[in-house]
Amino acid sequence: MSADGSVTLVWGDGENKFRFAIGQFRELQEKINQRRILIGAPAVGPMSLLTALKAQDVWPDDVRDILRIGLVGGGMPIKDAHRKLVTYFDNSPPLEHALTAFAVLFAGLVGVPEELPEAVKKKKKSSVQTTPSTSDKSTETALQ
């Protein structure tokens, strides 16, 4: 899994590095919940936001904030991230970007699946190679 919560994705005009670590999660929570508190809506955490993204039932500003915070967390200067969002996000339907926002948030929460640590890869490989028992004894015991 991605050790630093980063993922590189094609978005906007090419490949971009997005990163969500604890500082980015704190900024996101503050930003999205500030809006909710103002209208009396319940606060949400990153897992609730991830679920909403998957269901495409997310607020447009939440999608935008995930992309912005992720780009800056990935090393893009704030002005460049803002310019990119104005160009590629603000002039298109927000849900076009929900899948990218989902991938960015998911990578920050659980890592990138193709970057599994060697110990996990070995464990998965050994569990896949096991063969089921053909013993009649275990079946007979269970039926009695």
Tens-level pLDDT at each residue, the chain (144 residues) = 456 889 999 999 999 999 999 999 999 999 999 999 999 999 999 999 999 999 989 999 999 999 999 999 999 999 999 999 999 999 999 989 999 999 999 999 988 766 545 544 454 444 444 444 555 554 454 555
Is residue 123 situated within a structural domain?
Answer: no
Domain presence at residue 91: yes
126 within some domain: no
Q: State which residues form the domain around 100.
A: 6-110
Q: H or E segment at 103?
A: helix 98-110
pLDDT given at position 136: 56
> Residue 52: inside a domain, yes or no?
yes
Longest CA pairwise span in the chain (Å): 72
Position 112 scores a pLDDT of: 77
* Structural domains of the chain, count: 1
Residues 6+ apart with CB under 8 A from 66: 28, 49, 53, 101, 104, 105
Q: Which of 20, 86, 91 is nearest to 53 (CA)?
A: 20
- Structure-token pair, residue 90: 């603000």
Task: Decide if 102 is inside a domain.
Answer: yes
CB 61 within 8 A of CB 35: yes
User: Is residue 75 included in any domain, yes or no?
Assistant: yes
In a domain, 47, yes or no: yes
What confidence score (pLDDT) does residue 111 get?
Answer: 81
Q: Is residue 71 in some structural domain?
A: yes
Q: Is the pTM of this model over 0.85?
A: no
Would you state the pLDDT for residue 135? 52
